[in-house]
């Protein structure tokens, strides 16, 4: 079978998916270790038997609704490839927006004095995508990544090493392992209501770790705790920034309205115009 024939076959096999050509191209280029542009220019090249078998196996895995990112073993995030497998959630574009808002904030980008580094805690780090990107984009930052899952931390450490990112990793529940005050607490916490999990597409509910998705009865269990606990761990003027789910912004504003430890509560829409990111600033006393 030639490359062109394999491409056509894969597209046919994945015809029920939203973008069968893109899916096939990703799987084929990954197996052949070729750039996408070569699929056309080298279309008449015959594929080695072993590589063809691997490609057909990848197609079968995708037909079983295994996420493409798990099949190829990585997910692009902010211009770098993050290794992923079933131990961690696959990074989403919405989380890229969270990182973009941080690295474009003068409060953080102006911390370029070596003896005055910004101190960052990434809570529920998963693959480490947020922590690694911030460590690279804010080179004077001291970044700590926290996760309750030992297996997720193992993978996050692999990713940090692969991208030469200097990060301290701590195992524990939310902010509990954090022993110093920080300038930024960032998180992409679980925020899907428990009852909604069964309605998710199979790529998510059957493959990604439920612990990284399940946000409790209303989806806000972890966010509620973050808002409550973060002030005790933030320096005066420090920020809490996190991602949240569809329809949750009103409840989040209510949580802040009864907490006297914050000011400047800002809700940011994603690229689809849906409220998705929250930013809040800690007041000076941080003890109420």
Residues 99-158 have pLDDT tens digits of 999 999 887 876 544 446 899 999 999 999 999 999 999 988 999 999 999 999 999 999
- Condensed to tens digits (0 to 9), the pLDDT of residues 208-244 reads 999 999 999 999 999 999 999 999 999 999 999 999 9
The pLDDT score that the predictor gives to residue 115 is 47
Q: What is the pTM of this model?
A: 0.92
Would the annotation count 70 as a binding residue?
Answer: no
Would the annotation count 124 as a binding residue?
Answer: yes
* 287 has a pLDDT exceeding 50: no
Q: How far apart are CA 34 and CA 1, in angstroms?
A: 16
Would the annotation count 191 as a binding residue?
Answer: yes
Question: Domain 88-282 class?
Answer: alpha beta
Q: Which phi and psi (to 5°) does residue 178 adopt?
A: -75, 120
In order of 5, 126, 155, 194, 284, the CA distances from 85 in angstroms are 29, 11, 8, 23, 41
Q: Give the dihedral of Cα atoms 196, 202, 204, 205; nearest 10 deg.
A: 50
The pLDDT score that the predictor gives to residue 111 is 54
Q: Residues with Cβ < 8 Å from 153, sequence gap 6 or more? A: 125, 145, 147, 169, 171
What's the first-to-final CA gap in the chain, in angstroms? 69
The pLDDT score that the predictor gives to residue 113 is 46
Q: How far apart are CA 152 and CA 159, in angstroms?
A: 11
Would the annotation count 125 as a binding residue?
Answer: yes
The pLDDT score that the predictor gives to residue 178 is 96
> b/e for 99-138, b at 16 or more Cβ within 10 A?
bebbeeeeebeebeeeeebbbbbbbbbbbbbbbbbbbbbb
Strands 142-147, 167-171: parallel, antiparallel or unpaired by DSSP?
Answer: parallel
* 32 has a pLDDT exceeding 90: yes
Average pLDDT over residues 81-107: 94
Residue with the larger pLDDT of the pair 170 and 113: 170
The pLDDT score that the predictor gives to residue 43 is 87
Average pLDDT over residues 11-16: 97
Domain boundaries, the chain: 3-64, 88-282
Place of tokens 């984009």: 137
Would the annotation count 189 as a binding residue?
Answer: yes
The pLDDT score that the predictor gives to residue 116 is 65
Mean pLDDT of all residues belonging to the chain: 94
Would the annotation count 188 as a binding residue?
Answer: yes
């Amino acid at each position: 079978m030639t490359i062109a024939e394999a491409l056509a076959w894969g597209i046919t096999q994945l015809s029920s998916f939203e973008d069968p050509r893109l899916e096939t191209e990703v799987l084929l280029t990954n197996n052949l270790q070729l750039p996408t542009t070569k699929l056309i220019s080298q279309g008449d090249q015959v594929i080695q038997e072993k590589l063809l078998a691997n490609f057909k196996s990848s197609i079968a895995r995708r037909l079983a609704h295994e996420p493409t990112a798990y099949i190829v073993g990585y997910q692009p995030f902010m211009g770098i490839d993050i290794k992923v497998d079933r131990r961690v959630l696959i990074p989403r574009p919405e989380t890229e927006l969270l990182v973009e808002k941080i690295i474009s904030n003068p409060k953080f980008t102006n911390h370029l004095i070596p003896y005055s580094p910004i101190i960052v805690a990434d809570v529920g780090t998963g693959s480490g995508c947020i922590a690694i990107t911030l460590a690279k984009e804010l080179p004077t930052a001291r970044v700590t990544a926290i996760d309750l899952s030992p297996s997720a931390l193992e993978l996050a450490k692999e990713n940090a090493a692969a991208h030469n990112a200097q990060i301290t990793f701590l195992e524990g529940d939310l902010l509990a392992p954090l022993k110093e005050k920080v300038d930024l607490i960032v998180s992409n916490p679980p925020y899907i209501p428990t009852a909604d999990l069964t309605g998710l597409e199979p790529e998510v509910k059957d493959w990604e770790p439920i612990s990284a998705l399940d946000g409790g009865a209303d989806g806000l269990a972890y966010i509620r705790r973050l808002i409550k606990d973060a002030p005790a761990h933030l320096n005066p003027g420090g920020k809490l920034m996190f991602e949240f789910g569809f329809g949750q912004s009103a409840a989040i504003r209510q949580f802040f309205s009864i907490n006297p430890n914050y000011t400047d509560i800002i809700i940011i829409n994603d690229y689809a115009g849906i409220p998705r990111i929250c930013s809040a600033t800690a007041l000076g006393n941080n003890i109420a």
